[in-house]
Structure 1
Amino acid sequence: MTDADLDDVFIDDITFPAADGYALGATLFLPRGTKQHAVLINSATAVPRKIYRKFASYLARRGSAVLTYDYRGIGDSRQRAMIGYNKPKSLVGFKATMVDWAALDITAAVAWMRERYHNVPLTYVGHSFGGQALGLLPNNTEVKRALLVAAQAGYWKLMASPERYRVYALLNFAGMPLTRMLGYMPGWAGVGEDLPKGVFEQWTRWLISPRYLYDEPNLRALSNFTRYTGALRSICLSDDPWATRPAIELMASGFKATTPDIITITPADINAKAIGHLGFFRPEHRDTLWRGAAEWLEAE
């Protein structure tokens, strides 16, 4: 996307409070003209919101108010250290889980968008964990349409080989020992951003459970999956070793009050060499993946 494209979009870095008052770093993208839709973009695990910036700008240019944000402990939602210019505070002792991300952060983001843009439809883009979390939200009934990108039940045996063995080794032979020793999971070990200890421990537990988060004991929020009645499209990218078709189908099976539309896209379908787990949000897919996604989100 060129600078000229961004000239048609107003972009503002802001903060908004999570359900418990924790300050979340966010970016609001607004069209220069009339707002016809509101779109909330929800990140994958250990992925900062900046990777969705150009996709959000694209949607805003088409007439949507778009919000991206970081979960607590990630990116600009990680507290700053008392010393050192803009240095992130250590995650040692920082309390957060993936369930917290859903119950406190994503739930608040939905409410924030619904309150401010209550006159237009609210749509939801969830990448990987961001898509999984839709079913956990008590207020997911506020969402009219949800586009899930590579949102899978991440059980390691449902991943493509040999990636499944790399992930299993990373979790059990590197990740958990490092997390227990350091007090957090360092991004340099191969997960992306640094992760709070509680987030990584819960994620690991889900990844080694055959039904992923559906196997989480005493997780009352699972009942919210059946509350969602809006339109639901789940995109499977054929060369994504994490979000395989069986893993995406398992995740979608929890949404029993709607009929998930699961579509598989291959690189050849869009004349690309590769897409993968993160590639949907690369700007070279603007006229293919992005346009199709936008048209679906904007449908009545």
Structure 2
Amino acid sequence: MTQTVTIDGPAPLTGTFFEADTPRAVAVLNGATGVPHRFYRHFAAWLAETQDVSCLIYDYRDFGASACGPVRDVTASMLDWGLSDTQAARDWLEARANGLPVWLMGHSLGGLMLARHQRTQDIARVITVCTGPVHTTDHPWPFQATVRALWFVVGPLSMATFGYVPKQVSGLGSDIPGPVFKQWKRWCTTRGYPAKDPCIPAAPMAAFSCPVSTVSLSDDTSVPPNAVARMTELYPGTNTEHLALTPQQFGLKKVGHIDAFRPENAKLWPALIA
């Protein structure tokens, strides 16, 4: 069964809940920056229908189905999305878990701040996909040139002109609110940013006692495997298992940063939750 839901929190969020007939667990999938929650619907349906895992997907505040006004008026930051909204979505799910194990899943931004959640010891499983504390110098060339142009040229010019970064500039297919872009840029151009951004609360040591899997894709130029391998910076003291995947393992030509959740790449989905 699939239903549209409203998640109460610091800001109202709109999402979709895919409920398994006989669930063995419940999961929330926190999306990547600028990726609407509908993009994940095929994966969420697969979890519910074939893996007996009910799955919640949703849009961050003031974005996608959760938008409530012009993008130029958005005041939400990347930390609001990556911490406050992921906590609110998880709280909504836990209130309906009926004692079932709770999984936290994050794609890119969606996995960055999970160790800073409340009640982390209550989680049964953590899976992050293409998530890591990436720095500009981690990107391979020539993609690094594209990223530098976004951070230092076209992004700031767009901010000065429009007050946000249009989708035609971001290359993500969605407009990026101004405060989100500013914090995103600061994080990706600062080495060791979790300890240097005063807005980010410190993560407790060994926040999770459950299995934590960090998945990378070999052809991901946005958050390359070496950046994913540094997830210990975000999850201090936690035993994380880094699963390095290649498209060729699954008979695929390419996957990259975003497309792991596209239905045409469903061959790799069992590996994500293995």
Runs of 4+ in 1 over 4 A off after TM superposition: none
Residue aligned with 1:223, SS:
coil
Q: Is the CA contact (8 Å cut-off) linking 1:232 and 1:260 kept in structure 2?
A: yes
User: 1:187: Cα distance to partner?
Assistant: 1.6
Q: CA deviation at 1:215?
A: 2.8
Uncovered stretches (5+) of structure 2, i.e. residues with no partner? none
Measure the CA separation in 1 of the matches of 2:77 and 2:272: 30
Distance in 1 of aligned mates of 2:171 and 2:185: 12
Of 252, 258, 271, the match for 1:278: 258
Residues 140-289 of structure 1: pairs in structure 2 closer than 5 A: 140-192=120-172, 193-219=174-200, 221-224=201-204, 226-286=206-266, 288-289=267-268
What does residue 78 of structure 1 align with?
67
1:231-272 Cα shifts (integer Å, max 9, x gaps): 111111000111112211223333233211002111211111
Distance 1:225 1:105 in 2: 22
Mapped partners of 2:73, 2:265: distance in 1: 40
Structure of higher CA gyration radius: 1
Cα shift at 1:285: 3.0
Structure 1: 5+ residue runs without aligned partners?
1-9, 80-88
When residues 42 and 292 of structure 1 are mapped into structure 2, their CA distance, relative to the original with a 3 A threshold, is same
Q: Which amino acid in 2 is paired with 1:289?
A: L
2:93 aligns with 113
Aligned length: 272
Cα gap change, 1:52 to 1:218, in 2 (>3 Å)? closer
Do the aligned residues in 2 keep the contact of 1:236 with 1:245 (CA within 8 Å)? yes
Q: 1:230 & 1:289 partners in 2: Cα distance?
A: 23
Give 1:15's aligned residue.
Answer: 6
**1:28 corresponds to 2:17:** yes
AA matched with 2:110? G
Q: Residues of 1 paired with 2:75 and 2:199: CA distance?
A: 19
Residue number among 89, 105, 113 corresponding to 1:125 in the alignment: 105
- Contact between 1:73 and 1:195, CA under 8 Å: does it hold in 2? no
Shift of 1:92: 2.1
Matched with 2:45 is 57
CA 1:226 to 1:66, structure 2 compared with 1: closer, same or farther past 3 Å?
Answer: same
